[in-house]
Amino acid sequence: PGLGAKSEEKIGQAIERLGLHGKDTRTPIVEALPIARATVAQLLELPEVRRADYCGSLRRFREDIGDIDILVSSTRAEAVMEFFTTMPEVADVIGRGETKSSIVTRRGIQMDLRVVRPAEYGAALLYFTGSKTHNIHLRQLAIDRGWQLNEYGLSDVESGEVVASKTEKDIYAALDLAFVPPTLREDGGEIEKAAAGELPKLVQLKDIKGDLHYHTDLSGDGREPLERMVEAAAARGYSYLAITDHGEDLTINGASRRQMLAQRKKIARLQEEYPDLRLLHGCELNIGRDGSVDYDLDFVLGFDWTVASVHSYFDLDRNQQTERVLQAMANPGVSAIGHLSGRYIGRRPGIELDLEAVMEAAAATGTAIEINGALQRLDATPEAIRIGIEHGVTFVIDTDSHHTSELGRMEYGVLNAQRGWVERTMVANTWPTAKFLKWAGAKRLAA
């Protein structure tokens, strides 16, 4: 009742885009990663376990997975299997063998465990991490040398002698390749780059010097006060931090002009307590249907930094969505576009955009594209990021934190950036404070 033909059509289209039909269903990373990490941590506490890692698409940091693959190095597989199949999280044991077992967790996620000997661990880790096409490419390189590569090692076909097996790096080196990080292993040109010594110098977590999408309880969905959020950022050793509570156009969660001005004064006072942390007063603006944002231009230009994001009108067509984002980027008060598509992995597909046009405009207007570290978002996607790189776009990696417990999202943002082949120099919040502030102010000064 209350749902008409139009609503039915929209829901049907969303289901199609999310791939929620039976066998196509996959588990979003936000559900799978915590389970995988907790299981690995438990296994590492066992005296029989020397090493343990999650593998597969999860180690490559794909946005969703079919099941969770766990690899363990041990000479006492039986003890490991006993622990794994009797964990409290186990709802059902699909199968249990000497070196392999499969279970289903209480959340309905299948988890497969493989136990290998320590000498074989590197080969097994490489094999079970994938991707399938990356592994096929590596196996062909081995064949060209008269070798074979499988989960047990890289070995000479004629003599059977093991060439390399203990570590992934040993195997890549034996094939005359630079080590390829798991986030790049999709057979998208990474092997050719590794052979030529031209792999990108990927951005690392240690490179990040600040967070530029950060909420306090002034946002209706924020859960901690300004003082606590700033204290947590300072504890991470950041050089700068932008406080970006929601603009007034976001129903319920937005802050009025009066509230924003009061917060600005509060931040100025708080700055005195943190001489090594440059505090910026910012705002997460809402991109309206026509590309407009909260507040008038003069008020927006009063902020040090702004992130403009889509929070509504997800059903507009591709041309309309593209135009509204282009209009937002043309605004001299908009510093960055936040979570580009507005997707929630497994729940909401996000808007469709002409990415070539968007990235071209981002570069032309000096507007950064955010790589959002929230596991349910991981937005922009690696595909969009690669297009941005082609156009010379500047990126920012943010946590979109609403609580101090979410600052760890920066790791996820970095991993997603790596999947897009992002180098440190391309990310504005890896730059020293003076360089970042000069760049961030250039677009506003041009107004």
pLDDT in tens, 430-439: 999 999 999 9
* CB-CB contact of 244 with 211 (8 Å): no
Q: What is the pLDDT along the chain (447 residues), one digit of tens a residue?
A: 778 887 777 777 666 655 544 445 689 999 999 999 999 999 999 999 999 999 999 999 999 999 999 999 999 999 999 999 999 999 999 999 999 999 999 999 999 999 999 999 999 999 999 999 999 999 999 999 999 999 999 999 999 999 999 999 999 999 999 999 999 999 999 999 999 999 999 999 999 999 999 999 999 999 999 999 999 999 999 999 999 999 999 888 899 999 999 999 999 999 999 999 999 999 999 999 999 999 999 999 999 999 999 999 999 999 999 999 999 999 999 999 999 999 999 989 999 999 999 999 999 999 999 999 999 999 999 999 999 999 999 999 999 999 999 999 999 999 999 999 999 999 999 999 999 999 999 998 877
Among 240, 278, 283, 279, smallest CA distance to 261 is for 283
- The backbone region for 13, taken as left when phi is positive above 0, alpha when psi lies in -120 to 50, beta otherwise, is alpha
H helices then E strands: how many in the chain? 16, 17
Report H helices in 76-166: 77-85, 121-129, 132-144
Give all strands of the β-sheet with 153-156 in edge-to-edge order: 147-150, 153-156, 162-164
Give me the phi and psi of 57, to 5 degrees please.
Answer: -65, -20
Among 349, 346, 417, 338, smallest CA distance to 381 is for 417
pLDDT, position 16:
62
Quick: pLDDT tens for 283-311: 999 999 999 999 999 999 999 999 999 99
pLDDT, position 15:
65
Give me the phi and psi of 441, to 5 degrees please.
Answer: -85, -15
State yes or no: cis peptide before 131, omega within 30 of 0.
Answer: yes
Q: What are 111's strand-pairing partners?
A: 68, 103
Alpha-carbon torsion angle 50, 56, 61, 62, nearest 10 = -170
Helical pair 382-390 and 355-365, crossing angle rounded to 10 deg: 50
Q: What is the DSSP string of 369-414?
A: EEEE--TTT-BS-HHHHHHHHHTT--EEEE--BSSGGGTTHHHHHH
Give all strands of the β-sheet with 210-211 in edge-to-edge order: 210-211, 240-246, 278-286, 305-309, 336-337, 368-372, 395-398
pTM for this entry: 0.93
3-state secondary structure 204-256: CHHHCCEECCECCCCCCCCCCCHHHHHHHHHHCCCCEEEEEEECCCCCCCCCC
Among 299, 310, 317, smallest CA distance to 260 is for 299
| Residue 196 CA: distances (Å) to CA of 16, 200, 203, 320 | 41, 11, 20, 43
| Residue 419 CA: distances (Å) to CA of 4, 152, 323, 368 | 41, 27, 27, 18
pLDDT, position 4:
80
Quick: pLDDT tens for 180-221: 999 999 999 999 999 999 999 999 999 999 999 999 999 999
pLDDT, position 23:
43
Among 236, 423, 343, 306, smallest CA distance to 14 is for 343
- What is the spatial distance between Cα 434 and Cα 149, in angstroms, rounded to a whole number? 50
Collapsing DSSP to helix, strand or coil, 20 comes out as coil
Among 398, 395, 333, 332, smallest CA distance to 363 is for 395
pLDDT, position 2:
74
State yes or no: cis peptide before 380, omega within 30 of 0.
Answer: yes
* 96's tokens: 């249990």
